[in-house]
Amino acid sequence: MTNFVFDPAPRPALPVAGSDLLFPARRVYCIGRNYAAHAIEMGHDPDREAPFFFQKNPDNLNASGRFAYPSQSRDVHFEAELAVCLKSGGTGLDLDAAMGAVFGYAVALDMTRRDLQGAQKKAGRPWEIGKAVEGSAPIGPIHRIEETGVLERGAITLDLNGDRQQSGDLDQMIWKVPEIIAYLSEYFELAAGDVILTGTPAGVGAVARGDVMDVAIDGLGGIRVTVD
């Protein structure tokens, strides 16, 4: 019998579309500047440089449909993203093995304290204070790849209070899904339960309390998230 100092928190779990199954989340990896137009709007060269990553915490995943405006920030931004959820993992995966590890996809957001992230960038410090915010990864149900097929293209959009702000296509990703997974597996041992946010198209912007975000990806439907 294991005696814990206190009861461990339950593992975050996400709903699987069309079922009563739950997907137990293990880690959350996020790729930065993976759409050329977004790289440009953030002041960076969109050439195909080596990918870079940051992490959110598993309990940042948020399927409630609500996002609490975080403290210590006056500039919180939305970033619409495709989430890729893994059923297996490993190290040194080739592209075929990388795609074979995919359980499914979900519509997601990477909510960011942009002012705090910007200050960290200027100081050459990690981004967690801007990125790993409570509830900062709103996400919809996971759609199994057996039902969606491999998503290589399709519109990804975000409307803020009914006005289109982000409009892109999955085929505009600089690094494609199997490449992202294979590259990550060179540096981390991936495993079932890992969630990967694959980047955002251009058009990111600020939210305020009371705003409503509608995010959609072809083949996955959409999610609506209200800012509290």
List the domains of the chain with CATH numbers. Answer: 24-227 (3.90.850.10)
Whether pLDDT at 56 is above 60: yes
Query: What average pLDDT score do residues 184-197 get?
Result: 98
**112-139 mean pLDDT:** 94
Provide the mean pLDDT of the chain.
94
**Per-residue pLDDT band at 64 (split at 50, 70, 90):** very high
Each residue's pLDDT tens digit, 153-187: 999 999 999 999 999 999 999 999 999 999 999 99
CA dihedral 181, 187, 188, 193 (to 10 degrees): -10
Q: For residue 14, what pLDDT is reported?
A: 98
> Tell me: the pLDDT tens digits for 74-119?
999 999 999 999 999 999 999 999 999 999 999 999 999 999 999 9
pTM of the model as a whole: 0.94
Residue 25 has pLDDT above 90, yes or no: yes
pLDDT of residue 50: 85
- Report the pLDDT value the prediction gives residue 49, as an integer from 0 to 100: 77
pLDDT band at 36 (very low <50, low <70, confident <90, very high): confident
Which strand (E) or helix (H) includes residue 95? helix 95-100
- Res. 46 pLDDT band, cuts 50 70 90: low
Q: How far, rounded to the nearest angstrom, does the alpha carbon of residue 69 sit from its chain's CA centroid?
A: 18
CA distances (Å), origin 151, targets 118, 124, 216, 221, 223: 32, 35, 14, 13, 18
Mean pLDDT lowest among 24-38, 53-67, 123-137, 195-209: 24-38
Q: 219: closest CA among 146, 138, 163, 164?
A: 146
